Amino acid sequence: MKKIVISTITACFLLFSFSGISSAAASTYKVQKGDSLWKIATKYKISVNQLKSWNGLKTDLIKPNQVLKIAKPVTAPKKAAAKKTASSPAYKAMTVKATAYTASCKGCSGITATGINLKKNQNAKVISVDPKVIPLGTKVWVEGYGEAIAGDTGGAMKGNKIDIHLPTKAKALQWGVRTVNIKVYQ
């Protein structure tokens, strides 16, 4: 009997000792009215592409009461993380053609492809991208604009082009067309 108790205690100790080694802790999220993949990804500090991948989603369309799998990444030890950032940058640098748009135009809904309401958030830093080049939900630093979220798409967004959101038509026209450097954070 004593061997069984010791074996059970040892097994429990080993089970709980190594349970933190898994690569991700899974949980779920029930979609609420007004949610978007971008909002959910931001809340859990993950990318939209990760969220879509974990749930087998082909589009950005989600519905209220839909249950999504969320995997929370386990943080690596600080020494390993520092070593990784020293050998490779945490972003991809690119040069792109940048135009500007506004949500306050006649006939514009103001709702981005990821569900951001630009009419309610006129000062939101959002850019429209080609999701094949810059994944939706990605943080991007844009020269002359600052840090933004890749939160929209558009028919003219093909290849190395972006369209930055500005609160007014006058500011969008003032921006014009520029060639800028960007950093796409990974």
Q: What is the pLDDT of residues 35-91, one digit of tens each?
A: 888 888 888 878 788 888 888 888 888 889 999 888 755 444 444 444 444 555 689
Task: Lowest mean pLDDT of 15-24, 147-156, 158-167, name the range.
Answer: 15-24
pTM (2 decimals)? 0.56
pLDDT of residue 173: 92
Delineate the domains of the chain, giving CATH numbers in brackets: 24-75 (3.10.350.10), 89-185 (2.40.40.10)
Higher local confidence (pLDDT), 2 or 74: 2
Torsion-angle region of 25 (φ positive above 0: left; ψ -120 to 50: alpha; else: beta): beta
